[in-house]
Amino acid sequence: MTTRRPILRFRPGSRIIAVVLALGFTSLLVAATGASPFEAFRLLWQGSVGTTDKLANTLMTWVPLALASAGLVVTFSAGLWNIGVEGQIVMGAIAASWVAREVDLGTAAIITLAVAAGLVAGMLWGLLAGVLRVYARVNEIFGGLGLDFVATGLVVYLVIGPWKRSGIASTSGTDLFPREAWMPTIGDRLAPIAIVLAVIAIVAVFALMRGTYFGLRLKAVGANPTSAFIIGIRTHRYLLAAMAIGGALAGVAGTVQAIGFQHKLVPAISGGYGFLGILVVLLAAYRAALVAPIAFFFVMISVGSSQLSLRLGLDSSIGGVIQGALVLTAVLVGGWQVQRATRRAAAEEV
Amino acid sequence: MSLELRDIRKYFGEVRANDGVSIRVERGELHGLLGENGAGKSTLMKILSGFIEADSGEVVVDDQVIAMKSPRDAIAAGIGMLHQDPLVFLPFSVLENFVLGNPRADRDQARSELLRLGESFGFAFEPEAPVRTLTVGERQQLEIVRLLWLGAKVLILDEPTTGISATQQALLFEALRTLAGQGMIVIFVSHKLEEVEALCDRVTVMRRGRAVGDVPLPAPIDRLVEMMFGRAVKVAERDHRGLGDVAIELARLCVDDRLVSLRDLDLLVHRGEVIGLAGLEGSGQRTLLRSCAGLLAPRSGRLEAGGADLAGHPYHEHREAGIHYLPAGRLEEGLIRGVTVAEHFLLAGERKGPIIDWDSAHDEARRRIEEHSIVGTTDSPAESLSGGNQQRLLLAMMPAGVDVLLMEHPTRGLDIASADWVWSRLLERVEQGTAIIFSSADLDELLRYSDRIIVFFAGRVIAVLDAADTDAVRLAHLIGGKDLG
């Protein structure tokens, strides 16, 4: 018997059960600190989508998470736990920053080049983890984690080394990029190009997984590599392609972080969106169509929770608690359903 | 003491792994349990050792029915199981593994018990050595003394001779004889006839989930083989055709598998020919099939098909040369769980551009479902189909124009109607010039459908027979390793 990675399969309604359970759990937590859960959730809403400015901010936070998650849908479908997504975001950001600092051509050209550079850098970083997995048999979790550290080390080196701010080296980041290298915005923050990139990525991944031979084969390789190989699929190619696509989208996420949001390179450029993306994709049960709303919901919680510390004196980490509780309850509900289905099947057999 | 299994039944879906098995073993008996892979031996022993629960039936020790819910209950009743891969914890030391399962034991006392028990069987243990440095045979020895220390009075050994040396095997058999001499019950599970013959006092033979015989040893070997493989009732139903061109040729092929090495194999198979591979499980049939398929690279020799030497070339080139492989594990090595019937046809079929046309894919799938009488819909996931329908799906996925079809146990686990249907389909292919090489544990199937039968014993080809001039008795003897001469 081959061992198979656990795949969450939800029946309709189970996500709702999971959300209700998670909200119930966090309400209890909030109530235990003496604050009103209802007030807390109202503030979360207010703080994330309550005003146009806040909505713009939330959308710009949604973009990198949605991009990274879309890429993870591809790698997870192929059965690869792409923990290296954080490093791929960072490498994308570094490449985009290089373009933003060094190229002097006018906004359209710089942005095009930066997106292309970020995409390629993330793709190569993903491919590297893929090559280690396929040809050197290094599990992609360990290879990816190692490459995460390398990328993070590199960004810190750049920020306090060669790209340090004029005068002083500081971990607060490089100098701001020249204005021509910023993604143009509507209002203060909202960069339509970034939104368009995220939407294109999600639609493309959805179409890839739903309507192409490539996507179907990828799914087959993820579900049972032995059978897929015997059926005639060249499994190595598909594993590498999945890592390349996942890395490329993560690289674009890094690009948006650098030239669309921070406008400089900072050590924490990934924003943790890679790891958060893993939770989003788990909750979406690897389905691209669900990534957009779930990522948005996660971002609402992240952005909105800063209000809780200001207004209710709660620690802003409550947002992370809600997100974690959501995934845990979803996994629990999913596991419980699998168990029930198994029992039902067993009962029918006798 | 005595041990009795009464009317044990365990079904997995349509598969009747144990279909009313009853066995009684008395004190001091070395009892063999013989049968091909899939006969139901392992399921029965897992029930006896508490790893799985029977659907119905009783385990009785000394006329008391044991409530068997977990391995703990089995141990409490004095039943200890030695698994094929001994369940040891690799990072821990020998002594630590020894006291696992008995955590309240005093370490020094445990150490002296370990050494004393080991000595009494001639096992040399180093208590502080990490278990990962031990061979499989030494891990077994450790597991045996551990079970004895826990108070086992019934010792079950599941295929214990796989992967151990001849010296260790001799030592193991000696220890088992000593234990039986002390009044213990030893149950020795194996598909290797000669081992059961050498060691056991009695043997129960299992076939297709049933105990088909319970005989004292020594017994005539052809009788045992016949019980394991079934009696061949009809012979040579089909027209043996004249030979066509060469479909595949092996010349002085040498292949190393994990436990089997094939040496200097020569074989010429013509188009439209059916070759049956006979032998006890693990005698080399799978090694031959997998090396022909390109999944095992030969060490030396030639493997020619479609006018090219494919030896050492990748699997995909074998497929392109018209060689097609259908393994025994349908859901492990053939179909994909969670992928639908329609999607399987897409995966196996010709790719028409990058985009899937789902409407025509479903139409095509419906057509093939009808053509192959598959019970299921286009959207049924593979695992929801019964074994027979999974086999039909695999056949329906096979492209046209296969020159060499390699199959393992084409009808294992199927009912008679499905098995007949599978063979009628295969023979249609043969009429069109496909050569088939298949392994089987069914004498009837081998004799009925093969033109030639290759008999394997212990990794060697011991006979190549013309199926028309062979009878079941001779084949049974050869499978058991003895030629009538």
**In a shared domain, residues B72 and B82:** yes
CATH number at residue B20: 3.40.50.300
Chain A residues interacting with chain B (CB cutoff of 8 angstroms): 1-2, 4, 7, 9, 211-214, 216-217, 219-220, 223-224, 226-234, 349-350
Q: Are A58 and A299 in contact (CB under 8 A)?
A: yes
Could you report the per-residue pLDDT of A293-346, keeping only the tens digit for each?
Answer: 999 999 998 888 877 777 777 777 778 888 888 778 877 887 787 777 666 655
In angstroms, what separates the C-alpha of A281 from chain B's closest C-alpha?
18
Distance CA A111, CA B202 (A): 82
| Confidence band, pLDDT 50/70/90 cuts, at residue B387 | confident
**In a shared domain, residues B408 and B465:** yes
Residue with more model confidence, B89 or B82: B82
Q: What is the pLDDT of residue B459?
A: 81
**What average pLDDT does the segment A177-188 reach?**
89
> Does any domain span residue B241?
yes
The three state secondary structure string of B92-142 is: CEHHHHHHCCCCCCCHHHHHHHHHHHHHHHCCCCCCCCEHHHCCHHHHHHH
Q: Which domain-ending residue is among B342, B372, B400?
A: B400
**What average pLDDT does the segment B114-126 reach?**
88
> Does any domain span residue B104?
yes
Least confident of A264-273, B30-39, B148-157: B30-39
**In a shared domain, residues B373 and B407:** no
In angstroms, what separates the C-alpha of B138 from chain A's closest C-alpha?
26
What are the chain A neighbours of B336 within 8 Å (beta carbons)? 220, 223-224, 227-228, 231
Q: What is the pLDDT of residue A5?
A: 39
> Does any domain span residue B253?
yes
Q: Name which of A9, A212, A227 is nearest B336 (Cβ-Cβ).
A: A227
Distance CA A243, CA A251 (A): 12
Distance CA A98, CA B366 (A): 55
Distance CA A317, CA A308 (A): 9
Distance CA B137, CA B163 (A): 8
Backbone angles phi, psi at B338, to 5 degrees: 85, -5
Q: What is the pLDDT of residue A78?
A: 94
**In a shared domain, residues B310 and B173:** no
- Cβ distance of A212 and B397 shorter than 8 Å: no
Q: Encoding tokens for residue A329?
A: 């309850």
What are the chain A neighbours of B315 within 8 Å (beta carbons)? 229-230
Could you report the per-residue pLDDT of A124-157, keeping only the tens digit for each?
Answer: 999 999 999 999 989 999 999 999 999 999 999 9
Mutate to test the interface with B, among A5, A77, A208, A213 (most CBs of B within 10 A): A213
User: What are the sequence ranges of the domains in chain A?
Assistant: 55-331
CA B176 to chain CA centroid, nearest Å: 24
Residue B257: pLDDT above 90? no
**In a shared domain, residues B283 and B426:** yes
Q: What is the pLDDT of residue A225?
A: 93
**In a shared domain, residues B208 and B269:** no
Residue B17: pLDDT above 60? yes
Distance CA A79, CA A77 (A): 5
Distance CA A226, CA A329 (A): 32
Residue with more model confidence, B106 or B453: B453
**What average pLDDT does the segment A73-102 reach?**
95
Q: E strand or H helix at A350, and its extent?
A: none
What are the chain B neighbours of A228 within 8 Å (beta carbons)? 336, 347
Distance CA B217, CA B200 (A): 7
Q: Name which of A212, A214, A224 is nearest B337 (Cβ-Cβ).
A: A224
Q: What is the pLDDT of residue A249?
A: 97
Q: Encoding tokens for residue A265?
A: 């390179």
Q: Long-range pairs for A51-54 at CB < 8 Å and ≥24 separation?
A: A52/A187, A53/A187, A53/A188, A53/A189, A54/A303
Q: What is the pLDDT of residue A2?
A: 35
| Confidence band, pLDDT 50/70/90 cuts, at residue B274 | very high
**In a shared domain, residues B30 and B163:** yes
> Does any domain span residue B408?
yes
Q: Are A316 and B21 in contact (CB under 8 A)?
A: no
What are the chain B neighbours of A220 within 8 Å (beta carbons)? 336, 339, 343, 347
Q: What is the pLDDT of residue A11?
A: 53
- Cβ distance of B333 and A226 shorter than 8 Å: yes
Q: What is the pLDDT of residue A6?
A: 39
**In a shared domain, residues B138 and B190:** yes
Q: Which domain-ending residue is among B400, B419, B437?
A: B400
**What average pLDDT does the segment B151-176 reach?**
85
**In a shared domain, residues B298 and B432:** yes
In angstroms, what separates the C-alpha of B55 from chain A's closest C-alpha?
8
Residue B87: pLDDT above 80? no
The number of distinct structural domains making up chain B is: 3
**In a shared domain, residues B9 and B157:** yes
DSSP strands (E only) in B363-459? 404-408, 435-439, 452-457
Q: What is the pLDDT of residue B105?
A: 76
Q: What is the pLDDT of residue A12?
A: 54
In the three-class reduction of DSSP (H, G, I as helix; E, B as strand; rest coil), residue B3 is classed as: strand
Q: Name which of A9, A214, A220 is nearest B336 (Cβ-Cβ).
A: A220
> Does any domain span residue B414?
yes
Q: Are A301 and A323 in contact (CB under 8 A)?
A: yes
Task: List the domain range (segments joined by +) for residue B74.
Answer: 2-219
Residue B292: pLDDT above 80? yes
Q: In what order do the strands lie in the sheet with B261-270?
A: B261-270, B246-256, B300-305, B308-309
Q: What is the pLDDT of residue A171?
A: 78
Residue B2: pLDDT above 70? yes
Residue B184: pLDDT above 70? yes
Could you report the per-residue pLDDT of B26-46, keeping only the tens digit for each?
Answer: 999 999 998 877 788 888 998
What's the mean per-residue pLDDT of chain B? 86
**In a shared domain, residues B383 and B261:** no
What are the chain A neighbours of B346 within 8 Å (beta carbons)? 213, 216
Q: What is the pLDDT of residue A87?
A: 96
- For A212, the closest chain B residue by CA position comes to B355
Residue A100: pLDDT above 90? yes
Q: What is the pLDDT of residue A346?
A: 55
Least confident of A169-183, A206-220, B100-114, B448-462: B100-114
Say what percent of chain B tops pLDDT 90: 34
Mutate to test the interface with A, among B324, B344, B347, B402 (most CBs of A within 10 A): B347
Residue B261: pLDDT above 60? yes
Count interface pairs A-B at CB distance under 8 A.
68
Could you report the per-residue pLDDT of B222-250, keeping only the tens digit for each?
Answer: 788 888 877 655 444 555 555 678 899 99
- Multiple choice CATH, A55-331, 1.10.3470, 1.10.15, 1.10.150, 3.30.420: 1.10.3470
What's the mean per-residue pLDDT of chain A? 87
**Is the peptide bond preceding residue B218 cis, with omega within 30 degrees of 0?**
yes
Q: E strand or H helix at A252, and its extent?
A: helix A235-255
- Of the candidates B428, B417, B444, B364, which has an alpha carbon nearest to the alpha carbon of residue B395? B428
**In a shared domain, residues B152 and B192:** yes
Question: Which range has the top average pLDDT, A252-256, B48-52, B303-307, B417-421?
Answer: A252-256
Q: Are B277 and B459 in contact (CB under 8 A)?
A: no
| Confidence band, pLDDT 50/70/90 cuts, at residue B209 | confident
Least confident of A114-118, A233-237, B343-347, B412-416: B412-416
Distance CA B176, CA B144 (A): 10
Residue B471: pLDDT above 90? no
Residue with more model confidence, B135 or B246: B246
Q: Name which of A219, A227, A233 is nearest B333 (Cβ-Cβ).
A: A227
What are the chain B neighbours of A234 within 8 Å (beta carbons)? 316
